[in-house]
Structure 1
């Protein structure tokens, strides 16, 4: 994983800042330059700019950027609601005044092309109180787009929650490393378009950390020309109780679309002899564990005694396993099943949504959403498995504490059956030889790309069905695999000496 994708916690970021200070590197000056460059490249003179600065270092970033913009020929208005507390911010304000730039008093009737939010940074640990909350509301009410520096003011940089007033940014320019709160929970709506300015810090200054932005590698899926269906693995999907057969079919169709060589459906409801939409699916006449390489249990499974017995058999099996939907609810309700899951010898992937995660953790859904990283990593450690906590900024967590936050996907995926499709994609990637961590990361990424593809094509997020998502995921998966092959070929060409 590239250093630019690392996520550092607040303590690691403070250590990085201290190291920069010891090395004589002025990170505030670099952040200000990055912000000024961002604005200059998108808003040429004579754009009207309002720079809103708080009392701390985030305000210093904003005021130093305002000084640079002034030197470049802009005439930015600066809004400084309170006396700066940070020495660097005080110096920036003094320099602006010396250059003839005085703070304005409130928004007034001025019409701005861009507002820059430098009120609070990553250290804010409580909701902004008055008058800051009132100022945030006024900035949001302006017709101008807002560029947030580092994080939108009022947003928790790690949980993505906003307990009170929060800037609604169209753009966020974040510094040094990505912040998970920009991608998940409320941050997914409040951060807008996210761009990282690493501030030219040497990669070895960034500690490894536990978190990363999810940018998975699809190259393991490249196929040899000398392949056959057995080369791409087989999957047994267990689910489809009466009235819920469609869930198992969606998972099976997605598994086929994303490359599995063979797929069996072991449905609790035996009503369907063939899937006319996907006759390649093999529907078993009775529900039992198929003789497949990979098992996926849960889509439409229900919570009957038969469902519980089938899940128990799957947990006692050593084959790679994907658990979704009612399989997770059964584990949450039965200590014996939970113990069997945590003791499995084979790899497991769990794909809960927040309510299912809450049942597994015996806590309210609100507690899961309050700290999604903690919820996902706790589940992964407790059950010794890979966990995909679905939602805005889906999280992939491993038992050793690693996690990734997914940057793809959005509201187009908020529809019935999408979890079944994700389950089928993850099983398909396992069947093609990927390990559980890699399969979970790539399946979430591709599933999200399918939703993004629909939203871009349709101009909105309404109406994407799970059936269509499977086909779009196939397209995105092939595109990623093709891109990795192209990159490899370009690299080989670049290293090949030219003939004399």
Structure 2
């Protein structure tokens, strides 16, 4: 589906060339989409500053300025450099013919407009900007107004989410043809603002095969028969909870129950707790004696596991199991440094899901957290290739990837989830959906989406991201799953 498709930059460039060969003026379409967006947000007569760069992104902005002039808006047009591309040059000539006179620089004391339209640099920016451009971007970024970025904010790499020394903090981004992954993760998540897509009525015949999608996984597969019982919805076993970290395993178990698993066992390496009084439905087991695993359909190993000898024995046991397996936290840390465990992982035939945050991903890849964050999509693809598993790279813009399938980019969630225990909740939720029979990719996508939605809804209800606990998140996830059943 075009609305959710993600294409690489080379694929997008091939589409643009083919569109030009077929006589489709994508620049004019982008300009019309920009003018339409402006009409929805500002009344005629409002003052707008259009900043146009030398490339095709600047051409989009110049044609949009021409349309907005004709519709009665008050326009200032900033064009620090003459257009370099033929299409942008035509846009400049059309604007001048209509009486538009661009400015080469913006006065330091220029009053703030109602809207800045940022068309300085688009998705093709790959070179470091010189000090002149960086100073201009910084100046524009200080304006007290709404900022609409065309395709992507100037200074942002639309595919890695990395920013240069100066980058526009857009309140809105109107991106063209398809979504760009860097708008949703790394620094891009804080610079793109509210992202909207203008497909420019791209003909289906020109659209390349998507390499990824925005995650929109539904919950219809979880519909239940009236004639069902606890055994109909699967059994999950959580392995973890060493001394001082028992809460992690309990959180994963509670989340598995909230996610709909019929029964949940918690095998705790700290075996002193006979029952979880806050959630007595959990069946607790003393895991200090290895290999006392009850019958189950799915294993989740790692929440609070630690890295003791017993922890490693349980991880070996889990890797040797024929059951679907979710690996998180210390299970990933031990896996990263142990070739024997990696060999066991390579021998598995059942679905295995790795759920690293960036630091854990870096350990698995043998590089740094900064390297992972510098190109999250490359990192998750490397993890899939190296371990032949389904991988969830957590963080802003969580990525879900598996061999031979388009990757999924999650857009729900935010800083409300930046608190201890949320990864444990996600692991338990994934295990619950697997236990109910969802395919691994669908289960992971739904769990990540719902987990993020729980954070978003908390923030909407409270007005801010502070104070959402992992315990409360698990309950919210069950409410959202039920709401999505018939969506």
Q: TM-score, normalised by structure 2?
A: 0.97
CA distance in 1, matches of 2:423, 2:134: 38
Matches of 1:418 and 1:127, distance apart in 2: 37
**SS state of the match for residue 213, structure 2?**
strand
Query: Would you say the 8 A contact 1:126–1:163 is kept in 2?
Result: no
Q: Which residue number corresponds to residue 402 of structure 1?
A: 406
- Indicate conservation of the 8 Å contact 2:174/2:197, yes or no: yes
Q: State the SS of the aligned residue for 2:248.
A: helix
Counterpart in the other structure of 2:30: 31
1:169 matched to 2:170? The reply is yes
Indicate the larger mover: 292-301 or 101-110: 101-110
- 3-state SS of paired residue (1:104): coil
Question: What does residue 196 of structure 1 align with?
Answer: 197
- Within a 5 Å distance, the mapping from 1:281-320 to structure 2 comes to 281-287=282-288, 288-320=292-324
User: Of the candidates 453, 465, 472, which is equivalent to residue 461 of structure 1?
Assistant: 465
Structure 2 residue matching 1:168: 3-state secondary structure: coil
The answer on 1:470 being equivalent to 2:471 is no
Aligned to 1:366: 370
Gaps of 5+ in 2: none
Counterpart position of 1:53? 52
Matched with 1:94 is: 93
Q: CA deviation at 1:482?
A: 2.6
Q: Distance in 2 between matches of 1:15 and 1:4?
A: 19
Q: Is the 8 A contact 1:239 1:297 kept in 2?
A: yes
Moved over 4 A (4+): none
**Mapped contact 2:299–2:318 kept (Cα < 8 A):** yes
Alpha-carbon offset, residue 204 of structure 1: 3.3
Cα-to-partner distance string for 1:471-491 (whole Å, 9 max, x where unaligned): 1111111111131xxxxxxxx
Residue matched to 2:434: 430
Pick which of 11-20 and 52-61 moved more.
Answer: 11-20
Q: Matches of 2:141 and 2:128 in 1, distance apart? A: 16
- Report deviation, 1:402: 2.8
CA distance in 1, matches of 2:421, 2:73: 52
Contact 1:127 1:164 in 2 (8 A): no
Contact 2:80 2:103 in 1 (8 A): no
How big is the shift at 1:141? 0.5
Alignment of 1:215 with 2:216, yes or no, is yes
2:439 counterpart of 1:440: no
- Mapped contact 1:155–1:166 kept (Cα < 8 A): yes
Secondary structure of the structure 2 residue equivalent to 1:21: helix
Q: Using the alignment, how far apart are the partners of 1:137 and 1:163 within structure 2? A: 11
> CA offsets, 1:235-262, max 9 Å, x none?
0000000000000000000110110000
| Corresponding residue pairs, total | 482
Q: How does 1:482-497 map to 2 (within 5 A)?
A: 482-483=486-487
Q: 1:368, 1:400 → 2: CA distance? A: 22
In structure 2, what is the Cα distance between the partners aligned to 1:373 and 1:113?
A: 36
Q: Shift of the alpha carbon at 1:318?
A: 1.1
**Residue pair 1:127, 1:162 contacting (<8 A) in 2 also:** no
Q: Which residue of 2 aligns with 1:495?
A: none
Q: Secondary structure at the match of 2:486?
A: helix
User: C-alpha deviations, 1:141-165, integer Å up to 9, x for none?
Assistant: 1101110000001111111011321
State the partner residue of 1:490: none
- Contact persistence 1:381–1:401 (CA under 8 A): no
Paired residue for 2:63? 64
Partner of 2:15: 16
CA distance in 2, matches of 1:127, 1:460: 36
Residues 427-462 of structure 1: per-residue CA shift (max 9 Å, x gap): 010011011111111110000000000000011111
Deviation at 1:105, TM superposition (A): 4.3
Query: 1:397: how far off?
Result: 0.8
Distance 1:134 1:52 in 2: 14
SS in 2 for 1:269: coil
- Contact 1:381–1:400 (Cα < 8 Å) also in 2: no
Residues 32-81 of structure 1: per-residue CA shift (max 9 Å, x gap): 00000000111011110000000000000000000011111112110000
2:328 aligned partner: 324
SS in 2 for 1:76: strand
Question: Residue 6 in 1 paired to residue 5 in 2?
Answer: yes
- In the TM superposition, residue 401 of structure 1 has moved relative to its aligned partner by 5.7
Structure 1 residues 189-268: aligned runs within 5 Å: 189-268=190-269
Q: 2:135 and 2:330 mapped to 1: Cα distance?
A: 45
> Aligned to 2:10, what secondary structure does the other structure show?
helix
In the alignment, the residues of structure 2 paired with residue 139 and residue 196 of structure 1 have an alpha-carbon distance, to the nearest angstrom, of 23
Gapped runs of 5+ residues in structure 1?
484-500
Contact kept? 2:2, 2:199, Cα under 8 Å: no
Q: Which residue of 2 aligns with 1:182?
A: 183
